Amino acid sequence: MELKEQLSGVPGMLRPFKAYLREAGLGAGDQVVYYGCPGTCTPFIELLGFAVRDLPVEQVYVPYVDETAAKVIRLVDGVGMQVSGDAARIAPKVIVLMGGLAMPGVPVTKDEVQATVSAHKDASIVGICFMEMFEKGGWLDTFAFDLVVDAALDPVKIWR
């Protein structure tokens, strides 16, 4: 992979993701399945989902790699995209791996994530991370990412 462009801010994260999904030619009902850590990745998944809410895809959240716990992501009026309580079957056209999975101390390994991803041979793989988590964890050599969006939260400024 090579660096294609450098953007900034939240739109710099969301626009390339949406452009990639548009270019993928996804049809009605095709699945975008997000794998991530409960709590920490979930708000970012819902933000990404909101950015692509006008695409005709079904969006699904999988906590860690537990596909039996998969839930549909739905648009809630006045709120945005939310992980629902509705169970989902898994048949991804696009797999989105969240960088939280690559962080130290997470209760899944890179090998477990790879085993889950490899079961979906026809799906493309997108990585969304912060602060070079995929690079630091050696994931760039393990996964055949079609797109990686690596955002920085540096510096974080605090005023009182």
Question: Tens-of-pLDDT digits for all 160 residues of the chain?
Answer: 889 999 898 999 999 999 999 999 999 999 999 999 999 999 999 999 999 999 999 999 999 999 999 999 999 999 999 999 999 999 999 999 999 999 999 999 999 999 999 999 999 999 999 999 999 999 999 999 999 999 998 888 999 9
Give the CATH number, domain containing residue 141: 3.40.50.2300
What is d(CA 130, CA 154) in angstroms, rounded to the nearest whole number? 10
Say if 126 falls within a structural domain.
yes
* H or E element, residue 135: helix 133-136
Say if 159 falls within a structural domain.
no
Say if 31 falls within a structural domain.
yes
> 53 with 81: CB under 8 angstroms?
yes
Say if 3 falls within a structural domain.
no
Say if 157 falls within a structural domain.
no
